[in-house]
Amino acid sequence: MHKLSRGHRDKLQQFIAITGASEKVAHQALKASDWHLEGAFDVFYSQPQIKAFTDSRHLEELYNRYKDQYVDMILADGISLLCNDLQVDPQDIVMLVVSWHMKANTMCEFSKQEFIGGLQALGIDSLERFRERIPYMRSELKDDQKFREIYNFAFGWAKEKGQKSLALDTAIGMWQLLFAEKQWPLVDHWCQFLQARHNKAISRDTWSQLLEFARTVGPTLSNYDAEGAWPYLIDEFVEYLNENGIIQWSAE
């Protein structure tokens, strides 16, 4: 192997530490992604030979460890045990990323198909391998496109079955969790505004548009356009910030 620069060597060691890959495989993945670490993870985890390593018998054993005693699903108690085994807090945002990978329909539930299919897609066939993947899944939140997908997934995942909208308290909890990761400075003001002025369930449109607002409008609202096609709730939020002296914004 050719001599690597210090920067490349550091990325190689980081990649090996997170994935457990051999030095040769790590080098191939990083080289294929032009030495971009995030891209190398994608290359590594999307390789068919990685997925082929998953042993369905081991996945069945893992599923049976966590499934409910009475229902053929993993429910809240099973997920709590899984989090304990993974050494992850159940409230950790990485568990949302896990659920996204499993294409889970409902919060605090995994069907057998969701659980086993998700682990196969991630190339996981043991608890140890699951733990090794956690840093990678956490790193996906730093990728703008993946964050958008995870954010939009969270709406359907967190709402109650049969409901079109997301309960306000649940939405606030999810926003605080998600935007703590992306560090939107106005998230607390937004949540306070909703509790004071709105106090109703959140529509999917409001949910998705808020991410666009948080990404495109600066924290001082200097580039906010009152004529833009924002949901009325976001326009009301800007008025709330003005009225309460939190941020002074003028259309002039």
Domain with CATH 1.10.238.10 in the chain: 56-142
Q: With the CA atoms of 146, 105, 159 and 137 taken in that order, what torsion angle do they form, in degrees rounded to the nearest 10?
A: -30
pLDDT band for position 4 (cuts 50, 70, 90): confident
Q: Give the pair of three-digit tokens for residue 34.
A: 């032009």
Q: Give the pair of three-digit tokens for residue 248.
A: 């002074």
Look at the domain 158-244 and name its fold. Recoverin; domain 1 (1.10.238)
Q: Which residue has the higher pLDDT, 210 or 6?
A: 210
In this structure, are residues 109 and 43 in contact, taking their beta carbons and an 8 Å threshold?
no
248: Cβ contacts below 8 Å, ≥ 6 apart: 242
Q: Which residue has the higher pLDDT, 3 or 131?
A: 131
Which residue in 164, 172, 218 sits closest to 194, CA to CA? Answer: 172
In this structure, are residues 62 and 119 in contact, taking their beta carbons and an 8 Å threshold?
yes
Read off the pLDDT of residues 133-188 as tens digits, 9 standing for 90 and up: 999 999 999 999 999 999 999 999 999 988 999 999 999 999 999 998 788 999 99
In this structure, are residues 167 and 159 in contact, taking their beta carbons and an 8 Å threshold?
yes
Domain with CATH 1.10.8 in the chain: 6-46
Domain with CATH 1.10.238.200 in the chain: 158-244
Question: What residues pair up with 73 in beta bridges, in sequence order?
Answer: 111
Read off the pLDDT of residues 38-92 as tens digits, 9 standing for 90 and up: 888 887 877 655 544 456 788 999 999 999 999 999 999 999 999 999 999 999 9
In this structure, are residues 134 and 77 in contact, taking their beta carbons and an 8 Å threshold?
no
Computed on alpha carbons and rounded to an integer, the radius of gyration of the chain in Å comes to 21
Q: DSSP character for 118?
A: H
Query: Per the CATH hierarchy, to which homologous superfamily does domain 56-142 belong?
Result: EF-hand (1.10.238.10)
65: Cβ contacts below 8 Å, ≥ 6 apart: 81
Encoded amino acid at 28, one letter:
Q
Q: DSSP character for 110?
A: E
Tell me the C-alpha distance between 116 and 69, whole Å. Answer: 18
pTM flag (> 0.85): no
Question: What residues pair up with 108 in beta bridges, in sequence order?
Answer: none
Read off the pLDDT of residues 188-215 as tens digits, 9 standing for 90 and up: 999 999 999 888 999 999 999 999 999 9
- With 0-12 / 13-18 / 19 or more C-beta atoms within 10 angstroms meaning exposed / middle / buried, residue 148 is middle
6-46 to CATH, choices 1.10.8, 1.10.10, 3.40.1350, 1.20.58: 1.10.8
Q: Give the pair of three-digit tokens for residue 56.
A: 């369905």
Which residue in 196, 252, 203 sits closest to 231, CA to CA? Answer: 203
In this structure, are residues 86 and 131 in contact, taking their beta carbons and an 8 Å threshold?
yes
